[in-house]
Amino acid sequence: MGAPRSYQTQAIIIKQIKLGEADKILTIYTPEFGKLKAVAKGACRPRSKLGGNVEPLTYSLVLLAKGRNFDIVTQSQTIDGFLALKSDLWRMACGLYILELIDSFTMEHSENRPLFDLLLDTLHQLCQADSSEIILRYFELHLLQYLGYRPQLQQCVNCDSPLKPVVNFFSPGQGGILCPRCSGKEPMSRLLSVDALKILRFWQNCDYTIAKRVKIKSELSLELEQILQWYIEYLLQREVKSTAWLKELRKRIIS
């Protein structure tokens, strides 16, 4: 007997692309195997038993059969459909943004259990709370950490001296903070306020329930967003497409 021909796993559906007449290629994120691509046959048909269970932003239990190129989804049952997320335009946009980040940063078949837990936790958090901006920033910060890009926020990345409570500089190339003395040596660096640094340090070492207690003003929130997205885009070497949609929605909410 060879290896078993089918296996079961939990999965968060990240993306789907239509394939042929009625099939879909799913990109799923699993705790045991990391990111996978699998085919959901007939999922576009109204009577498909997979249909709603394999939509993006769904946490499902799936049974996969080994296939030649892609594995094939043979059964699927929703564990959590994140309905609160799907019935609100803003929250849905936040959810799609974090899915895009996961998809962009991960490779297929590379297991990362903490990242799976973070993703699942974040989707749950987005369903409950109003503090979606904090949740997004917390997610970005910890995503970077679990991928090996944890920003160094304690000492200067150049001279190792402890950082003082003054305006410092963030350098995406060095992956952390530069003290004012070293900032001249790195042309690609940006100012980082004392408050922003404090919050990033605080978030780096706490869980969601505590992270959400922080009250931040809109300017500080914007600063944190810009710094983290700058770092993310530096690492990806391209822009994250969903951010345009988030910005557009934010404008509409304000107006």
Partner 1 sequence: MAFTAEPVARAIEEFNKLPGIGPKSAQRLTYYLLCSPDEEAKALAEAILALKEKIRLCSVCLNITDCDPCLVCQDKERDHSKICVVERPLDILPLERTGRYKGVYHVLHGVISPAQGIGPEELKVKELLSRLQDSSITEVILATNPNVEGEATAMYLRGIILPLGIRVTRLARGLPFGAELEYADDRTLGQALEGRQEF
Q: C-beta of 7: minimal distance to partner 1 in Å?
A: 21
The DSSP result for 12-40, as a single string, is EEEEEEEETTTEEEEEEEETTTEEEEEEE
Please report, for residues 75, 112, 225, 250, the alpha-carbon distance to residue 144 in angstroms, rounded to integers and kept in the order given: 33, 12, 14, 24
When the beta carbons of 70 and 245 are compared against partner 1, the nearer one is 245
Q: C-beta of 132: minimal distance to partner 1 in Å?
A: 15
Say what angle helices 132-146 and 218-236 make with each other, to 10 degrees: 30
When the beta carbons of 59 and 138 are compared against partner 1, the nearer one is 59
- Which residues are near partner 1 by CB under 8 A? 15, 20, 46-47, 49, 51-53, 55-57, 78, 81, 83, 86, 88-89, 92-93, 96-97, 99-100, 103, 241-242, 244-246, 248, 252
When the beta carbons of 77 and 226 are compared against partner 1, the nearer one is 77
Alpha-carbon span 169 to 188, nearest angstrom: 10
Q: C-beta of 239: minimal distance to partner 1 in Å?
A: 9
β-strand pairing of 168-171 with 59-65: unpaired
Q: C-beta of 245: minimal distance to partner 1 in Å?
A: 4
Alpha-carbon span 42 to 86, nearest angstrom: 23
When the beta carbons of 83 and 188 are compared against partner 1, the nearer one is 83
